[in-house]
């Protein structure tokens, strides 16, 4: 098979160095990207009150009131991460409620959702996969995923190199104003996500807080509990792996989750629920969005069934598949592949890029 390192890198993905206390980390993030964060806030606050996203029209005051209700859950679940969010908000010139909407938008719209509207096509769409050690070449396990959403989001992708005071160093691929989307910590704990849309949203904790709390853990089971025991606000699918090859896919709505442990064959997931219990809670999806999710899942499974043993280069090639997985934006929704991440948890190595994988080079990062 191909070489283990996907390729040499070129500096295209901005790296944000964060260290110290939660307040210092949040302040640095907010100061560095204040303009972009304020732009996101204005856009997402408006969208959260529109029928296409919320299923009804909501005034700005009602949207912010809902975000304020969610903040209490965040403070109980992860007070340190909420302090980071508060500091980011202050540095950006926003309220904490506005910052919460920026950071956890796709879960937040599940919270404000009212029956009657299908899930918008512009919601995050990702193709993600776990490869067990039995199917990996010289690795206990491998992880990979694309990050797909409105094509304009690519310019806002960054890589956080986090060195929290008293905590585990971590790397997190994310967008400006978001605490973390996809990442790995110095213990090898690795987490990725697919957005889901469900009708059981409630005031609770948004997915990016779950991701960052996972990245604070040293043990796989503790990381898994951060997902399954969280008072979740909305629906997301989480893919989890540790340095020894333990892995799981967690398909979670706000009120229910199904855990599938990684065995001897790869696991893949896209943006529709697979578990019958969760399908009953799923929000109606637009036909083209459902077709895209099903096509990407089928293609990922086919590609993951091919080689006897995968390398990180093989996974990079999957993210570049133009039959279904890697695609450009097109009218009317302009959803596109805006970035991708490959990880080797055993070696504490992560590769990331922003933009189309077919046009960009992966950059290598290490926590070893």
Q: Are 184 and 192 in contact (CB under 8 A)?
A: no
Residue with structure tokens 């996974």?
Answer: 315
CA dist 239 and 282 (Å) reads 19
Give the β-pairing of 15-20 and 335-344: unpaired
CA dist 197 and 193 (Å) reads 13
Q: Where are the beta strands (DSSP E) in the chain?
A: 15-20, 128-132, 141-150, 157-164, 170-175, 182-185, 190-195, 236-241, 247-252, 257-261, 267-269, 335-344, 349-354, 363-366
> Could you read off the pLDDT of 40-94 as tens digits, one per residue?
888 888 888 777 776 778 888 888 999 999 999 999 999 999 999 999 999 999 9
Question: In 10 A of CB 72, how many CB atoms?
Answer: 12
Burial of 264 (0-12, 13-18, 19+ CB in 10 A): exposed
pLDDT at 150: 77
pLDDT at 112: 78
> Could you read off the pLDDT of 129-175 as tens digits, one per residue?
999 999 999 999 999 999 998 788 888 999 999 999 999 999 999 99
The number of C-alpha atoms within 13 Å of 46 and in the hemisphere containing its C-beta is 5
Residue with structure tokens 């893949």?
Answer: 268
What's the CA dihedral at 286, 354, 325, 259 to 10 degrees? -80
pLDDT at 82: 98
Gyration radius (Cα) of the chain, Å: 19
Q: Has residue 1 got a pLDDT over 70?
A: no
pLDDT at 3: 37
pLDDT at 35: 95
The number of C-alpha atoms within 13 Å of 252 and in the hemisphere containing its C-beta is 28
CA dist 36 and 89 (Å) reads 12
Where is average pLDDT lowest: 78-87, 250-259, 280-289? 280-289
Q: Has residue 228 got a pLDDT over 90?
A: yes
pTM (2 decimals)?
Answer: 0.93
Q: How many residues does the chain have?
A: 368
The number of C-alpha atoms within 13 Å of 99 and in the hemisphere containing its C-beta is 30
Q: What angle do CA 95, 68, 256 make, to 5 degrees?
A: 130
CA dist 57 and 253 (Å) reads 23
Closest CA to 129 of 334, 331, 316: 316
Closest CA to 110 of 146, 66, 71: 66
> Could you read off the pLDDT of 313-345 as tens digits, one per residue?
999 999 999 999 999 988 776 888 999 999 999
With cut-offs at 50, 70 and 90, classify the pLDDT of residue 5.
very low
CA dist 251 and 235 (Å) reads 8
CA dist 269 and 367 (Å) reads 26
- Can the peptide bond before residue 332 be classed as cis, meaning omega within 30 degrees of 0? yes
CA dist 123 and 106 (Å) reads 7
The sign one gets for the Cα dihedral 26, 28, 33, 38 is positive
The DSSP 8-state label assigned to residue 280 in this structure reads T
Mean pLDDT of all residues belonging to the chain: 91
In order of their start, the domains of the chain are 15-112 (no CATH), 128-366 (3.60.60.10)
């Amino acid at each position: 098979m191909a070489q283990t390192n996907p390729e040499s890198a070129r500096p295209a993905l901005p790296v944000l160095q964060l260290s110290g206390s939660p307040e210092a980390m949040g302040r640095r993030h907010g100061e560095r990207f204040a303009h972009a964060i304020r732009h996101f806030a204005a856009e997402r606050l408006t969208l959260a009150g529109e029928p296409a996203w919320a299923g009804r029209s909501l005034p700005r005051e009602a949207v912010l009131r809902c975000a304020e209700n969610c903040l209490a859950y965040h403070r109980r679940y992860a007070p340190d991460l909420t302090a980071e969010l508060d500091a980011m908000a202050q540095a950006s010139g926003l309220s904490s409620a506005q910052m919460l909407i920026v950071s956890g938008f796709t879960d937040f719209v599940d919270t404000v959702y009212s029956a009657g509207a299908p899930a918008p096509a512009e919601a995050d769409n990702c193709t993600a996969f776990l490869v067990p050690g039995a199917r990996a070449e010289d690795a206990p396990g491998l992880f990979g995923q694309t990050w797909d959403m409105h094509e304009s989001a690519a310019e806002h992708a960054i890589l956080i190199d986090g060195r929290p005071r008293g905590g585990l160093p971590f790397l997190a691929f994310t967008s400006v104003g978001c605490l973390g989307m996809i990442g790995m910590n110095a213990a090898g704990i690795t987490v990725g996500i697919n957005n889901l849309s469900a009708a059981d949203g409630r005031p609770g904790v948004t997915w990016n807080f779950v991701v960052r709390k996972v990245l604070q853990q040293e043990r796989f089971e503790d990381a898994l509990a951060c997902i399954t025991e969280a008072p979740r606000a909305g629906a997301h699918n989480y893919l989890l792996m540790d340095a020894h090859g333990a892995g799981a896919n967690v398909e979670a709505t706000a009120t229910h989750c199904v855990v599938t442990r990684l065995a001897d064959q790869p696991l893949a997931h896209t943006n529709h629920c697979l578990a019958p219990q969760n399908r009953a809670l799923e929000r109606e999806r637009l036909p083209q969005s459902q077709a895209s999710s099903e096509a990407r899942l089928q293609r990922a499974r086919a590609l993951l069934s091919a080689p006897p043993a995968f390398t990180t280069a093989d996974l990079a090639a999957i993210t570049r598949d133009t039959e279904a997985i890697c695609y450009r934006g097109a009218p009317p929704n302009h959803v596109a592949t805006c970035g991708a991440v490959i990880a080797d948890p055993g070696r504490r190595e992560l590769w990331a890029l922003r933009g189309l994988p077919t046009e960009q080079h992966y950059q290598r990062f290490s926590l070893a």
